[in-house]
């Protein structure tokens, strides 16, 4: 059974927000392909709810060119993950991925709906206990050298919105009562997302398409691709519904995360 979605496509920015709030993602079609266009899309979609939509980050040659991150191999799939984890609990609640140049072969995107994964886990007794721990046991969610975070894998905003994360640096807290059990908990969450990703439907962004994704709810990934000229613009967005907005300057990558944590 599938545990993902192909986002609804529309040319109306105002419709995108409604769809994203309902489904977790949508695609704005027929938009511009420049860096400025990518930021403009965030404001057109979220309007006065935008608190920060910093300069976009170039996503090219297999992945993010964040200043402190290694290049990602474009010839291998990118596993489902959450964006902006370098900002700890202040990671962005939405992000946009605007396609400027697509690869003719490969590069399909996919989404895993965290709400669906939570519902499936909750439908089984063992999964229910896992969910309880995922929402109550603090784990270390700090990217080395970036903003610290020791909090449950599944949290909530003040308004009760679920905040889910999946990324490579999640590990038991230093003061964990039982690091082995906590590591198994994290592994089980990772496995649940991975299983869902294998049957998630793939979709391909074309030039002028802007994927708009609820970063608290959806985990996203992509397939391998061939053309190193593939180019996307990524915009991280913090809205009035975000848990918290980082202090200091921001960019749609991790270059200011360590500085803001000092």
pLDDT tens digits for 5-17?
Answer: 899 999 999 999 9
Residue 70 has pLDDT above 50, yes or no: no
pLDDT value of residue 4: 60
CA distance 211 to 158: 27
Tell me what the pLDDT averaged over the chain comes to: 92
Which tokens go with 156? 């909530």
Structural fold of domain 8-58+80-93+101-224: Double-stranded beta-helix (3.60.130)
Which tokens go with 151? 């909090």
Q: Model confidence over 202-216: pLDDT tens digits? A: 999 999 999 999 999
Residue 65 has pLDDT above 70, yes or no: no
Q: Model confidence over 21-46: pLDDT tens digits? A: 999 999 999 999 999 999 999 999 99
pTM: 0.92
**To 10 degrees, what angle do helices 125-136 and 179-199 make?**
110
- The owner of tokens 């986002």 is 7
Determine the average pLDDT of the residues in 112-140.
94
DSSP string, 57-121: EEEETTEE--TTSPPP-TTSPEEEE-S-GGGGGG--SEEEEEEEE--SSB--EEEEEHHHHHHHH
Number of neighbouring beta carbons within 10 Å of residue 33: 17
User: Domains of the chain: which residue ranges?
Assistant: 8-58+80-93+101-224
Q: Model confidence over 173-225: pLDDT tens digits? A: 999 999 999 999 999 999 999 999 999 999 999 999 999 999 999 999 999 98
pLDDT value of residue 262: 43
pLDDT value of residue 62: 39
């Amino acid at each position: 059974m599938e545990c993902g979605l192909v986002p609804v496509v529309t040319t109306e920015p105002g419709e995108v927000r409604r769809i994203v709030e309902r489904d977790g993602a949508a695609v704005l079609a027929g938009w511009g392909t420049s860096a400025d266009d990518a930021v403009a899309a965030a404001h057109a979609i979220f309007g006065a709810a935008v608190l920060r939509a910093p300069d976009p980050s170039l996503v090219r040659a297999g992945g993010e060119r964040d200043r402190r991150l290694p290049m990602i191999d474009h010839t291998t799939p990118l596993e489902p993950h959450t964006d902006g984890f370098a900002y700890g609990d202040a990671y962005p609640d939405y992000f946009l991925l605007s396609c400027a140049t697509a690869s003719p072969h490969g590069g399909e995107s996919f989404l895993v709906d965290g709400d669906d994964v939570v519902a499936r886990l909750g439908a089984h007794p063992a999964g229910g206990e896992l969910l309880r721990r995922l929402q109550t046991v603090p784990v270390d969610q700090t990217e080395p050298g970036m903003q610290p975070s020791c909090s449950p894998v599944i949290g909530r905003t003040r308004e009760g919105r679920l905040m889910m994360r999946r990324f490579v640096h999640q590990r038991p807290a230093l003061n964990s009562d039982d690091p082995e059990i906590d590591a198994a908990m994290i592994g089980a969450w990772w496995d649940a997302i991975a299983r869902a990703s294998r049957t998630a439907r793939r979709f391909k962004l074309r030039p002028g398409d802007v994927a708009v994704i609820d970063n608290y709810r959806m985990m996203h990934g992509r397939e391998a691709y061939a053309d190193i000229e593939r180019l996307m613009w990524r915009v991280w967005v913090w809205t009035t519904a975000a848990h918290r907005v980082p202090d200091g300057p921001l960019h749609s990558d991790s270059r200011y995360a360590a500085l803001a944590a000092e």
